[in-house]
């Protein structure tokens, strides 16, 4: 766990923070001293629960609903966060979806939906938040990618492509905005135990993946969140365009 003041005085916006890894990231940021803007789409109760847990850690928090595919709604969300908290120091692009479909059966709408949520959403959120960071000459953006974006995987080509795109987006942004004081990096977890992955982690496919891991276990959401918090802190000052991989050895780039 990071020091309770590692992110003191900072405001972090986490998209997709109503549950799972996003909620864990929001709470980890609060534990490190940040106030947190909880971004979400439909999980109102989950977002409210995340806000309550952040406040229970002694930090300020509020929930902000937005469809990250819609540039107008993204701009409105970021404006509302700045109006509420006065600033944005960190952005964690975590919002994403992962439906399964083989390429031979995948519709164009299915492809577009995943690309728009997982990749375009991160682009739009970054584009909206960056002026608030560049104006002060400081800030950190973290993309939540996936091991599958590094190795590919049957049945989720749209998801793997979007997650691979996030890594390239982070590298490109890092070269653009790094000289102006804003860092951009990526975290690419492997299978992570959350309420959303119980079918994967306990099923036959999960057991096969587990057997391939040198760690002998899957990650938990708090461990992924720790990598994210590190990249948001000053301790990661030399990290630009990098990808951290809390995956138990499932991929060794």
40, 64, 159, 230: the active-site residue: 159
Tokens at 146, concatenated: 């996936």
Tokens at 40, concatenated: 């979400």
Reduce the DSSP state of residue 105 to 3 states and report it.
Answer: coil
Whether residue 159 lies in the annotated active site: yes
Burial (CB count <10 Å: 0-12, 13-18, 19+), residue 58? exposed
b/e sequence 4-19, b meaning 16+ C-beta within 10 Å: eebbeebbbbbbbbbb
DSSP secondary structure, 212-224, as one string: T-TTSS-EEHHHH
Rounded to a whole number of angstroms, the CA Rg of the chain reads 17
- By annotation, the residues acting in catalysis are 159
């Amino acid at each position: 766990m990071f020091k309770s003041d590692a992110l003191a005085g900072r405001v972090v916006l986490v998209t997709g923070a109503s549950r799972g890894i996003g909620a864990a990231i929001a709470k980890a940021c609060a534990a490190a001293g940040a106030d947190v803007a909880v971004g979400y789409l439909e999980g109102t109760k989950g977002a409210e629960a995340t806000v309550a847990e952040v406040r229970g850690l002694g930090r300020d928090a509020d929930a902000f609903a937005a469809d990250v595919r819609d540039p107008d709604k993204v701009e409105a969300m970021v404006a509302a966060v700045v109006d509420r908290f006065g600033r944005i120091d960190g952005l964690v692009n975590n919002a994403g979806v992962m439906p399964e479909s083989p390429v031979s059966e995948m519709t164009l709408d299915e492809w577009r939906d995943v690309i728009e949520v997982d990749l375009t959403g991160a682009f739009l959120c970054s584009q909206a938040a960056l002026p608030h960071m560049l104006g002060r000459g400081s800030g950190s953006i973290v993309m939540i990618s996936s091991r599958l974006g590094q190795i590919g995987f049957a049945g989720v080509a749209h998801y793997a492509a979007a997650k691979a795109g996030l890594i390239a987006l982070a590298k490109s942004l890092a070269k653009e905005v790094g000289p102006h004081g804003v860092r951009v990096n990526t975290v690419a977890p492997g299978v992570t135990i959350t309420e959303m992955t119980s079918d994967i982690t306990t099923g036959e496919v999960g057991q096969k993946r587990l057997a391939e891991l040198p760690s002998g276990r899957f990650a938990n959401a708090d461990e992924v969140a720790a990598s994210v918090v590190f990249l948001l802190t000053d301790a990661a000052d030399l990290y630009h365009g990098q990808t951290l991989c809390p995956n138990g050895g499932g991929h060794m780039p």
